[in-house]
Structure 1
């Protein structure tokens, strides 16, 4: 995704949890967005002034004065939209921001909110369930089911399945799946992908739609 002058769209993610920040970076990057991380949301106003991002994701869950921090960030980032992440329950952050995502959140919900903010929408539509035959994956609740049978998936198995079903018919190498479903620096190799795909297939049961493409990787058939 690029701006009118053909430079990449830059999103600043101000998030206090490193693992959550990396998850946001990974999912936003899949949409072609350039992402910069600010580990201390309190420093976000200064980072906005320096980077001039096209959109900001602002974590307000640890802010002592969330309304004040939001005001300073919106002023520093203007005219860039600011998507706020608020805790559950959210009394201190209630009513702050036009585009809000409540923690904990599914990565696709955040992506939908950021893309909506970049379009100028004041509310992001909920992500629709992804389907392939009798398999359904819900990005909002991070759950999956085959027919009426819920699947008990690990977080990595869910991320792997969501990535595959989100791109039906596309063949992914093991390296591409590692980048999509494992955090940077996890130290995982191609054998790890094979093991998780095998576990996922076992849970999907007879007729699972994940197919091996010999010499390449895996694909989920729609």
Structure 2
């Protein structure tokens, strides 16, 4: 699945179901929990593009989850949108000062929530909202589904296109085979890990630059133009 990854931290099951429905319909891949401690673990496992975080949740509070995420180097810049029934100005200011990128008060329109989330991503991670992705001489036109390498067309199969898009949205970041499998392949539970290696080879061949997709020993793969001569 190539959609943006969302971690939803909400302990109201019916509200979580509603939010999940609207985000999935908008193309997001949603992981959810109602527990603050579990949320901190899932952030490292799922590596979401965005966190939608309720202030009042089980275990540690949403505001504390936000504070801890901002203290970690790996999540210091992770986009966070907070949900809360607290509507007072002081509470909103506290949430934003803790590190939330935006704040929406219950009750809210799910469509507005999705729109606000998209606005946060465009502001904080513009590559995820762009119509064109560029990196290391590669250009991907998301609307036309076309790829160019140094101005020349690149012919890719559907799986190689999804792989490359995922890499272009996260340049330099290392992904394990399992992470790529779960992100790029629908029904990944039916696919073997070595399938990833096969499609990585095909992608390298199509790009004509094997070192552009770097093998990180015992870790996985990364799109890394720094390694090119």
Q: What TM-score results when the alignment is normalised by the length of structure 1?
A: 0.50
Confirm or deny that 1:146 pairs with 2:149: yes
Please list every run of 5 or more consecutive structure 1 residues that lacks an aligned counterpart in the other structure: 35-53, 55-76, 84-98, 100-112, 120-124
Note the residue ranges of structure 2 that are not aligned, 5 or more in a row.
1-5, 32-45, 53-82, 84-105, 123-127
Q: CA RMSD in A?
A: 4.3
Query: Which structure has more helix as a fraction of its residues?
Result: 2
Work out the number of aligned pairs and report it: 146
Which residue of 201, 216, 220 maps to 1:217?
Answer: 220
In 2: Cα distance, 1:199 partner to 1:216 partner:
20
Q: Aligned residue for 2:20?
A: 12
Determine the C-alpha separation between the residues in 1 that align with 2:213 and 2:121. Answer: 34
Q: In 2, are the aligned partners of 1:138 and 1:144 still within 8 Å (CA)?
A: yes
- Structure 1's 132 and 170: CA in aligned 2 closer, same or farther, altered over 3 A? same
Aligned to 1:68: none
Q: Distance in 1 between matches of 2:145 and 2:211?
A: 19
For the pair 1:197 / 2:200, whether they are aligned, the reply is yes
Please give the secondary structure, in 2, of the residue aligned with 1:82: helix
* Structure 1 residue 210 displacement after superposition: 0.3
Deviations 1:112-134 (A, max 9, x none): x8523999xxxxx9624222221
**Equivalent residue for 1:31?**
49
Whether contact under 8 Å (2:171, 2:223) holds in the other structure is yes
How far did 1:190 drift? 1.2
Q: In structure 1, what is the Cα distance between the partners aligned to 2:152 and 2:213?
A: 18
**Contact 1:22/1:183, CA 8 A, preserved across alignment:** no
1:160 is aligned to: 163
When residues 131 and 208 of structure 1 are mapped into structure 2, their CA distance, relative to the original with a 3 A threshold, is farther
Q: 1:187 to 1:169 in 2, by over 3 A?
A: same
Would the alpha carbon gap of residues 157 and 23 (structure 1) be closer, same or farther in structure 2, given more than 3 Å must change? farther
Q: Structure 1 residues 22, 183: closer, same or farther in 2, change over 3 A?
A: farther
